[in-house]
Amino acid sequence: MTSNFNPLELLAERVTPLVVDQTQLEIDIDKKSSLLKQFYPIVLSLFHKFPDRLKGILHGSQAPLQELLGNHQGVLNEMLNAFSKHHSLQPATIESLFNHAIPLSARALKEEVGEENIVSYIGSYLPQIASQLPAWAAPILSGLGLGSLLHGTTTNQSLKAAPADTGGGFKKFLPWLALIILALLLLFFWRSCQKQTPATNSVAEPAATSEVANTAAATPASLSLTSGTGNQVLGCQSNVGDSGLASVLQAGIAKVFGTGVNCNIATDSAYATQLPAQEKLDAILNLVKEVPNASIEWVGDQLTVNAPDANALKGLIEKIKALAPELNVVSAAPLNVEQSVNNSIDASTQALTGLNESSSPEQIVRALNMQIINFASGSATIPDANKAVLDQAAALLQKVPNLALNVEGYTDSTGNADANKTLSQKRAQAVVDYLTGKGVNSSSLKAVGYGSENPVADNETEQGKFRNRRIEFKLAGS
């Protein structure tokens, strides 16, 4: 079996959505997707070079990352630390993502071309794969036996051919060599006399680089919308970098669903000011509107779609792909509560670590809202898994005593509405009590329970219900 699908694109489309948690907007989706994008060329190169390791992973290796790297613990640690430095994620989080992605990658390749054809399939795309290997990982790749892929074949051949010309052929080039050396000396002497030009370049170039880096580092803009039937919008939230994009989104939503729809659009300079394919917003929302209780999570160029009807969901995804091929359109991954919670705690911990008393209130709220507090059914007892990050949050909040926050509790729509509102109030109060018990000023926190009001997702799917059961931190008065 053959395939015209570049294996790098195959893994990005079929594996990344299964590895990266899509249930929350604030869980480093883009950061983790970028991490995997740089990891896939390494995975494919090692599968090609070491088919026995690929076979071991396909047949149920218990430690896929160690298997892939040939059980080189030193190289493993070096790789995790290097990826951690370049993607601002904890090594333990990266190791978990890689261990999840590797067997899924092997299975995706097997499903595409059959197990016996994987190595030749990768081999036919090896030059493209090698061109995507991260340059900063060169020492690691050499340690893994992939050093030869970092250099072009033509270059290697030239280097090998040079020593063969040791006789008269070399003498023929001596006059030319002398001229080249003379030209280089003249160039060096001339540049040494140009004192102003280098100074100008040394200032201008870093400024340009910095500007590009800042643009690339912006958190992708996002839109989360859940439809009901007809003109209903059950939930709508967005994070954007400026009022211009906010106006575009609000106008598009009003055009499709009516002017009475209220979308909670937060403007924060940390986010991008453009949303890929935003000019197709109206058309995409019209497609969503046609499918009852459909929802979208649009984060950068990643569009995750969900709907309770499997056939309708498949049709919706195909239509959006045809309309906006520049977007990576995928269906919502099966709900994995434990992974979602753990990823959210990692993200919140990491975000809080980078904050201090000088951080903006919006940055603090955003970091707090990355965490999922998954209360047991009917319970208002804070899970032990969340206490460490709440301790970290309490230490930060004590440094900013003038920051007033509302702690809002929400449930899904299952059960009695009044009982849900009471339960959500108890859960919000439990969070307030925990933080004040750790030293946060009680006057700066207020608990409010909303029950099943203000959903951010549908209540027809398990993923939607999970997202609606939440604690949100908001600036008082916002």
Integer CA distances (angstroms), 338 to 69, 140, 449, in order: 27, 32, 25
Work out the mean pLDDT of the chain and round it to a whole number. Answer: 82
Calpha distance 444→400 (Å, rounded): 10
Kindly report, residue by residue over 119-164, the tens digit of the pLDDT.
Answer: 999 989 988 888 888 877 777 887 787 766 655 433 333 333 334 4
What topology does CATH give the domain 337-475? Answer: 60s Ribosomal Protein L30; Chain: A; (3.30.1330)
The segment with the largest mean pLDDT, out of 184-188, 238-242, 258-262, 403-407, is 403-407
Q: Of the CATH numbers 1.10.3720.10, 3.20.20.370, 2.10.50.10, 3.40.1520.20, which one belongs to the domain with range 222-331?
A: 3.40.1520.20
Kindly report, residue by residue over 434-446, the tens digit of the pLDDT.
Answer: 999 999 999 999 9
Write down the pLDDT at residue 218: 64
Structural domain spans, the chain: 7-150, 168-216, 222-331, 337-475
| Amino acid letter, residue 175 | P
Write down the pLDDT at residue 402: 86
Q: Considering the chain, what percentage of its residues have pLDDT values greater than 70?
A: 83
- Residue from 111, 18, 7 nearest 58 by CA: 111
The sign of the CA dihedral 8, 10, 12, 18 is negative
Mean pLDDT of all residues in 333-341: 83
Enter the pTM of the model: 0.50
Kindly report, residue by residue over 372-419, the tens digit of the pLDDT.
Answer: 999 998 999 999 999 999 999 999 999 987 899 999 999 999 999 999
Q: What phi and psi, each to the nearest 5 degrees, are found at residue 235?
A: -160, 140
Kindly report, residue by residue over 49-87, the tens digit of the pLDDT.
Answer: 899 899 989 887 778 888 898 887 778 888 888 888 877
